[in-house]
Chains A and B, each alone.
Chain A
Amino acid sequence: MKWVPLGLVRYTVCLGGLSVFFFLLCILTGPFLMLYYVPDVNRAHADVMDIMQVVPFGAFVRNVHRWSACLMIVCVPAHMTRVFLQAAYKPPRQLNWLVGITLLILTYLMCFTGYMLPWDQEAYWGATIGATMAENSPFLGAKGPFSVLPPDKDIHYIMLGGTVLDQPTLSRFFFAHCIAIPGALAGLMGFHFFNIHRAGGMSGPL
């Protein structure tokens, strides 16, 4: 990856790098929020209030976390669109396209689990909607068409850790938002970059 064709380096090519940049900002600010935030249904909202109003620079850290997440979710689909329009998914880069779509899904999941954590009204009802969507999936959900699983065995139960939203749900979303999804995201991102290199880098006919 030492050279690229002349004229390729336009600002549209920066979208992928920008997504990584916003992800890094989230990764840097997230652990600081974790110092004050406790994933307990009785405390979570008050903790976020504390971060916003009491903790020195707390509001700033949370704002940077939130706004860079917002920009990330703008940049990732924009990057995907750029890649599609320049046909960069064609051989030999098919594998990287697949990894990229997985990264897109993980980014959306990251945002979904993230806006759950303050446990405010938007979070609670958003999570209710998300969980009920899972409950309505065909075959796997208890309410969906062709359902086979009872309400205490289906995919909705595993997502909430019960049949109603409560402490187990918040713990699960916290785990997903802070450990599982960022881990998968970081690992797959590494693979994504390695793959650019493996498939000939940007030096190939993109």
Chain B
Amino acid sequence: MAEKIVEEGPVTAEGKEKLRLLTVVRGETLRNRDIYERPPKYELFFPNFVMKELCVGLAFLIIIFMWAYFKDSPLYELSDPAETPSHIKAAWYFVGLQEMLAYFDPYLAGVIIPSMILAGLYLIPFIDPDPVKGIGRFAFKERKFAIGCFLGGVAMWYGLLLVGWFFRGPYWSFYWPWEDHSVVKATEVALWSFPLPAGIAFLVCYGMLVLILPAVIFQNFFFRLGLIRYLITFNLFAVMCFVPIKILLRSAFSVKYILVTPWFNI
């Protein structure tokens, strides 16, 4: 195919047309929306936006100064490698992770799941099939699945944080917020694991349910995504939904592992 030269300059704020070589591309010309046009109604970046930003910053500066004056930041006793305190909590922004770690093997909750979360976040622009829908506004109705998944994940992270912060006492035992922390909780019941065939059956069923069922029910959605994107999306989705399922199994039914293998346990 012959190379075309696109000779369209962006419309500048003053409205003057500038003709300059943007780029040399093969195939179609750049889409119209890649070259920004001023909308009919607009406001100025400066001062409107910048002033708003500065006002908010100033308000928070006052808040921080008041907060720093009245509330000292915590400092605990000197570290002692010989003794872990019986009541220990991470800084509040890691309590969600700490709570998640209480249900999983360290390699899962400490490495695999955070990596999957970050991989999922990195992949968002590439697994979203629609390049234009909902840009610049809160389009909850048009992007139900995307927004649902994202807010579900955020809610899970902060939900775990709240549980870890308000419902955990000494020795990471579960306490209701009104319970006295000095009352020692009874020893937990012993955990049990699924036997190997049951574990495999459970995971296979779960995989079928999460990976295949949506493709059958929402066929339009499947074809819009394409196979690879669909698989990536729903694998990430499966991992995300697996976390509350395992937490439920562990806390309600005392299940230690779903799958036990000589190399790793899930």
How would residues 82 to 119 of chain B score, 1 for a CB under 8 Å from any chain A CB and 0 otherwise?
A: 00110011111110001001000111001110000010
Interface stretch (choices B34-42, B207-215, B241-249): B34-42
Query: Which residues of A have CB within 8 Å of B57?
Result: 17-18, 21
Query: Which residues of B have CB within 8 Å of A204?
Result: 33, 36
The distance in angstroms between the C-alpha atoms of A4 and B39, with both chains bound, is 9
Q: Is A186 an interface residue (CB 8 A)?
A: no
How would residues 229 to 266 of chain B score, 1 for a CB under 8 Å from any chain A CB and 0 otherwise?
A: 00000000000000000000000000000000001100
Range for the number of chain B residues in contact with chain A: 35 or more
Rounded to whole Å, the gap between the CB of A12 and the closest CB of chain B is 9
Rounded to whole Å, the gap between the CB of B16 and the closest CB of chain A is 13
Contact indicator A86/B135 (Cβ below 8 Å): yes
Complex partner residue of B136 from A8, A98, A124, CB under 8 angstroms? A8
Quick one: closest A residue to B90, CB to CB? A126
Complex partner residue of B79 from A5, A123, A146, CB under 8 angstroms? A123
How would residues 95 to 119 of chain A score, 1 for a CB under 8 Å from any chain B CB and 0 otherwise?
A: 0011001001100100110010011
Quick one: closest A residue to B41, CB to CB? A6
Contact indicator B111/A133 (Cβ below 8 Å): yes
Q: A2-B44, A63-B71, A120-B77 are in contact. Are A18 and B60 (CB under 8 A)?
A: yes
Interface stretch (choices B1-9, B123-131, B197-205, B216-224): B123-131
How would residues 1 to 42 of chain A score, 1 for a CB under 8 Å from any chain B CB and 0 otherwise?
A: 111111111010110011001100100000000000000000
Q: A111-B91, A200-B36 are in contact. Are A81 and B75 (CB under 8 A)?
A: no
Contact indicator A121/B131 (Cβ below 8 Å): no
Query: Which residues of B have CB within 8 Å of A192?
Result: none
Quick one: closest B residue to A127, CB to CB? B79
Query: Which residues of B have CB within 8 Å of A144?
Result: 107, 111
Query: Which residues of B have CB within 8 Å of A93?
Result: 125
The distance in angstroms between the C-alpha atoms of A142 and B85, with both chains bound, is 27
Q: Is B134 an interface residue (CB 8 A)?
A: yes
Contact indicator B81/A124 (Cβ below 8 Å): yes
Interface positions, chain A 38-83, Cβ under 8 Å from B, are 45, 48-49, 52, 59-60, 62-68, 70-71, 73, 77, 80-81
The distance in angstroms between the C-alpha atoms of A133 and B77, with both chains bound, is 24
How would residues 138 to 151 of chain A score, 1 for a CB under 8 Å from any chain B CB and 0 otherwise?
A: 10010011100000
Query: Which residues of B have CB within 8 Å of A124?
Result: 79-81
Closest 4 CB pairs of A and B: A133-B110, A63-B68, A124-B79, A66-B73
Beyond A45-B78, A132-B110, 13 additional contacts (C-beta under 8 Å) are: A2-B44, A3-B38, A9-B43, A21-B57, A45-B75, A80-B121, A88-B135, A97-B124, A121-B78, A122-B76, A123-B76, A124-B81, A146-B263
Please list the residues of chain B having a beta carbon within 8 angstroms of any beta carbon in chain A.
13, 33-34, 36, 38-39, 41-46, 48-49, 52-53, 56-57, 60-61, 64-65, 67-69, 71-81, 84-85, 88-94, 98, 101, 105-107, 110-112, 118, 121-122, 124-126, 128, 130-140, 143, 146-147, 150-151, 154, 263-264
Can you report 28 residue pairs joining A to B where beta carbons are below 8 Å apart?
Answer: A2-B45, A2-B46, A3-B13, A4-B45, A11-B56, A14-B53, A14-B56, A18-B53, A18-B60, A63-B73, A67-B67, A86-B134, A87-B128, A87-B134, A87-B135, A89-B124, A93-B125, A118-B75, A120-B75, A121-B79, A121-B85, A125-B79, A132-B106, A136-B110, A141-B107, A144-B107, A202-B49, A205-B33
